[in-house]
Amino acid sequence: MYQVVVPGDFLSEETKRAGEGTYVEEGKVYASQYGIASERGEIKVVPLSGKYMPSRGDVVIGKITGISFPFWIVDLASPYEARLHVSALSGITREQIEFGNMSEYLDIDDLVVVKVMDVNALMKIELALQEDIELRRGGRLVEIPHTKVPRVIGRNGSMIKMLKEKCNCFIFIAKNGRIWIRGKEDDMDLASMVILKIARESHTSGLTDRVAEFLDSFRKEKERG
């Protein structure tokens, strides 16, 4: 059984174990967010909602929203926009990219997989490009709240493993809640439908089993026509 907490709820007196989603006042730990209290290791609140905040080392899917030489402006589904420098592209020298032709390499609305290299106090975000995952052809993007990402992955990756097998798709989950799916059209339909279902029911228990059941019955029905 889990415990839903709201901001201001008393959690503990062990201030040394206070973690994310909490604050300490007068020697007591209180919740600072609406979410589910967790006492494993540190005392923290796993939020049920909220915006993604970039932190160093995160691998996320960004969308190019602007070009301002020598940077691409990248939207990370967070309150802050990030910038990607032209030098991040491999195999291209600085001289090859000029003021007018940046869009030939990455244009507005293109998706990129990027790694957050640094976030400073002014929320200036530095990115590095991860070119090993192709996000241009034959796939689609599904967006869910970033707080639901751990549920789509499941404990030790159980959920995502099952999704990949049963939906016959390549699925890449980024930390900011953007998910890239590649496969056959109706496989992708099924995968995105199931991912949205998981996000909707993320707070219920026994979800992995229910999703497995759902996928199996869906398949059976399809075979029957």
Partner 1 sequence: MKEEIELIKDGKRLDGRGFDELRPIKIEVGVLKRADGSCYLELGDNKVIAAVYGPREMHPRHAQDAKMAVVKFRYNMAPFSTDDRKRPGPDRRSVEISKVCREAFDPVIMRELYPKAGIEVYVELLQSDAGTRTAGINAASIALADAGIPMKDIVSSIAVGKINGEVVLDLNAVEDNNGEADMPIAMIARTNTITALQMDGRLTKEEFERGLKLAMGACHQIYELQRAALVTRYNQNYESKKEER
* Closer residue to partner 1 (CB): 25 or 95: 25
* Closer residue to partner 1 (CB): 80 or 105: 80
Distance between CA 143 and CA 154 in Å, rounded? 17
Residue carrying the six token digits 């989950």? 173
* Closer residue to partner 1 (CB): 94 or 124: 124
Least separation in angstroms between residue 47's CB and partner 1 is 5
Least separation in angstroms between residue 203's CB and partner 1 is 5
Nearest to 192 by CA among 165, 175, 171: 171
Is-contact 54 78, C-beta < 8 A?
Answer: yes
Helix then strand count (H, E) for the chain reads 4, 14
Least separation in angstroms between residue 106's CB and partner 1 is 21
In the complex, the residues that contact partner 1 under the rule CB under 8 A are: 4, 6-8, 21, 23, 25, 30, 32-36, 47-51, 79-81, 121-123, 147, 201, 203-205
Least separation in angstroms between residue 167's CB and partner 1 is 24
* Closer residue to partner 1 (CB): 15 or 130: 15
Strand ranges (E), 21-76: 22-25, 28-31, 35-38, 44-47, 59-68, 71-75
